[in-house]
Chains A and B, each alone.
Chain A
Amino acid sequence: MLLVAAALLLVALVALPVVTLLARALAEPWWQQLSSPVAWSALRLSLLTTSVAMGIVIAFGTPLAFLLARYRFRGQALLEALIDLPTVLPPVVAGVALLLVFGRSGWLGRELAGWGIGIPFTSTAVVLAQVFVAAPFFVRALKVAFDAVPRELEEAARSDGASGWTVFLLITAPLALRGFVEGTLLAWSRALGEFGATVVFAGSFAGRTRTLPLAIYAELERDLGAAVVLSALLTVVAAALFMAVRGLAPSQLAARPAVERRSTS
């Protein structure tokens, strides 16, 4: 009984604010708020920057996860801890760290400035901040999934004459699909919600660096109703993303849950 009460209390704590938020948004003239330039430019910027960020995360994170899962090398544990670090780092700290590298007086930023390239205050900075905070979620989930793919299957295919690429595409990738999808989902939602690193590293300017979370913060100063509607929009977009990505991975294609496999291997 106590168990159920405790569980329900936590469910209520999570569900009540979300439901209240959505209800409050519906009580607002939400259609008007959503068709405002503020909402539209923030939504477009958020979708654009997180899409680019996810492209980068997938393109570079997949080889990294594969290497971490298939090879053992010195300093591997240290490397994995380093990659995981952004998940526990306060986002504001991430923003400051990014500035110290890519900022105009940062060591790399200074070089780039010589080439006429400035990163802070641009959409590029938004993408960099998102990649920094989101990549670990993807790499970690995909590595676990790669770990769970039975090596015997890969070896059998290879002994049948399949090349490394064929083995990866026909055996490893399909079996790791669930981890890939989960990693993408986690990383994307983290990128979508990113605030602290963005406001420090990229600043806040409509259409350029003011993503949905930053727009919500700015609207709080002006119009609570608009902030509520934008918050609800972000909730809906995140939920839609959640369902879309889940829908992409029919259960028959996916491997058994990574955790379960891991315990048996």
Chain B
Amino acid sequence: MVLMAGVASAQTLHVAAASSLSEAFEELARSFAATQLGVRVELTFAASSTVVHQVLHGAPAAVVASADMIQMARLHQADRLDAPPIVFAGNEMALITPLGGRVRTLRDLAETGVRVVVASPEVPAGAYAVAVIAQLAEEFGADYAAQLRANIVSEEPNVRQAAAKVSLGEADAAFVFLTDGQALSSVAMLAIPPAINVRAAYPIAVIKQHPQQNLARAFVAFVTSHAGGVILARHGFAVPPR
């Protein structure tokens, strides 16, 4: 298998990643392919839970990057990883609102009639949103939290679809990753103070005994390199010291 990876003239590396990584990984893949002769990187993006689910059911990905440790742990427990996952980027939650919308502060989220959208609690961005709302309850009280929860009108299949509801002007606010907010131009972003926010850690790993294992390891090495960190930082991710 190692021999094959070294000899084959045109190789395709399949990478499956969390949807919040879309733009950053597209750039990482381009830069990586530019350094490797005859290598094509094929990317698929979905909610991390979907990505893990697909890999567990035989999707051909050689590299997996998730938006939380919980989803990656499912692959680790199933003994599908080449080595323990490496945390390569950090993120946090933010609120996006339509430009000139009615939500201007965190308190406005609990106003009557405000429509709030989150990602489904089964996907990382949704689970982080639940955690942030729990923190907000500590900060602003139970009544605020109850009203905010009542204002949630949809739990979308992934974080980008939650963001789309705000871009379309249908929702007044959506809990998304900070990087999602930065990737969108037509929305306003509301920061969530560090005391209330959660830290999202993004792990990456190579799939065990994959035919493209060497190439996959090289890609992970690139993502965790200084050059990879520069690209991730440019897309708004926090990058651990490397």
- Enumerate chain A interface residues (CB-CB to B < 8 A): 99, 103-105, 118, 120-121, 199, 202-206, 208-210, 217-218, 220-222, 224
Do the beta carbons of B50 and A218 come within 8 Å of each other?
no
Interface contacts beyond A104-B170, A218-B120: sample of 11 additional A-B pairs, CB < 8 Å, sorted by A? A103-B168, A104-B169, A118-B115, A121-B115, A121-B171, A203-B153, A209-B154, A210-B155, A221-B49, A221-B50, A222-B49
Judge whether B53 and A99 touch: CB under 8 Å.
no
Q: Which residue of B lies closest to A116 (CB)?
A: B113
Give the chain A neighbours of B160 by CB distance below 8 A: none
Report whether B169 and A221 are in contact in the complex, using a CB–CB cutoff of 8 Å: no
Which of A121, A202, A208 lies at the interface centre, i.e. has the most chain B CB atoms within 10 A of its CB?
A121
Asked whether, in the complex, the Cβ of A217 is within 8 Å of the Cβ of B157, the reply is yes
Nearest Cβ distance between residue B199 and chain A, in whole angstroms?
22
The answer to whether A220 touches B169, judged by C-beta atoms less than 8 angstroms apart, is no
From residue 147 to 179 of chain B, which have CB atoms closer than 8 A to chain A? 152-157, 161, 165, 168-171
Q: Roughly how many angstroms separate A225 CA and B170 CA in the complex, as a whole number? A: 33
Q: Compute how far the CA of A206 lies from the CA of B169 in the bound complex, rounded to whole angstroms.
A: 22
Centre residue among A103, A104, A224 by max chain B CB count within 10 A: A104
Shortest beta-carbon distance from A107 to chain B in Å: 13
- Asked if residues A199 and B170 are in contact (CB atoms below 8 Å), the reply is no
CA distance A127 to B152 in the complex (A): 20
In the complex the two chains form, what is the Cα distance from A104 to B153 in whole Å? 14
Find out whether the CB atom of A221 lies under 8 angstroms from the CB atom of B53. Answer: yes
Q: Given known contacts A218-B122, A221-B49, A222-B122, is B153 in contact with A121 (CB within 8 Å)?
A: yes
Could you show 22 A-B contacts with beta carbons less than 8 Å apart? A103-B170, A105-B168, A118-B115, A120-B170, A121-B154, A121-B170, A199-B157, A199-B161, A202-B154, A203-B156, A204-B120, A205-B154, A205-B155, A210-B155, A218-B122, A220-B50, A221-B47, A221-B49, A221-B50, A221-B157, A222-B122, A224-B53
In angstroms, how far is the closest chain B Cβ from the Cβ of A207? 11
Given A220-B50, A221-B49, A221-B50, residue A99 in contact with residue B168 (CB < 8 A): yes
Q: Given the interface contacts A103-B170, A105-B169, A203-B165, does A220 sit within 8 Å of B155 by beta carbon?
A: no
B154→A204 contact, CB < 8 A:
yes
Establish whether residues B170 and A99, one from each chain, have CB atoms under 8 Å apart when the complex forms: yes
Tell me which residues across on chain A come within 8 A of B161, comparing CB atoms. 199
Task: Tell me, in angstroms, the Cα distance from A120 to B169 when the chains sit together.
Answer: 11
Contacts A203-B165, A205-B152, A224-B53 hold; do A218 and B170 have CB atoms under 8 A apart? no
Question: Please, which residues of chain B bring their CB within 8 A of the CB of A118?
Answer: 115
Could you say which residues of chain A place their CB within 8 Å of the CB of B154?
A: 121, 202-205, 209
Taking CB atoms, residues of chain B closer than 8 Å to A121 are 115, 153-154, 170-171
Q: What 7 A-B pairs have minimum CB-CB distances, sorted nearest first? A: A203-B154, A221-B122, A121-B153, A105-B169, A222-B122, A221-B49, A120-B170
Is there contact, CB below 8 Å, between A221 and B168? no
A113 smallest CB distance to B (angstroms): 11
State the CA gap A111–B123 with chains docked (Å): 35
In the complex, whether B117 has a CB less than 8 A from a CB of chain A is yes
Q: How far is the CB of B58 from chain A (nearest CB, A)?
A: 13
Of all chain B residues, the one with the shortest Cβ separation from A221 is B122
Hey, which chain B residues are within 8 Å of A203, CB to CB? 117, 153-156, 165
Q: Which residues of A contact B152 (CB under 8 A)?
A: 205
CB < 8 Å: which of B115, B117, B155 contacts A218?
B155
- Cβ < 8 Å to A, chain B residues 41-68: 47, 49-50, 53
Contacts of A103 in B (CB 8 A): 168-170
Contacts of A105 in B (CB 8 A): 168-170
From known contacts A218-B120, A221-B47, infer whether A205 and B153 are also in contact, taking CB-CB under 8 Å: yes
Asked whether A204 lies within 8 Å of B155 as measured between CB atoms, the reply is yes
- Chain A hits for B53, CB < 8 A: 220-221, 224
Q: Which of B49, B156, B169, B171 contacts A204 (CB 8 A)?
A: B156
Bound together, the chains give a CA A115 to CA B171 distance in angstroms of 18
Q: Which residues of A contact B49 (CB under 8 A)?
A: 221-222
Closest-by-CB residue of B relative to A217 is B157
Interface residues as binary, B93-122 with A (CB distance below 8 Å gives 1, 0 otherwise)? 000000000000000000000010100101
Q: How far is the CA of A118 from the CA of B156 in the complex (A)?
A: 19
CB A206 to nearest CB in B, in angstroms, measures 8
What distance in Å separates the Cβ of A171 from its nearest Cβ neighbour in chain B?
48
How far, in Å, is B50 (CB) from chain A's closest CB?
Answer: 6
**Interfacial chain A residues near B171, Cβ < 8 Å:** 121
Q: Closest residue to B158 on the A side, CB-wise?
A: A221
Asked if B123 and A221 make an inter-chain contact with CB atoms under 8 angstroms apart, the answer reads yes
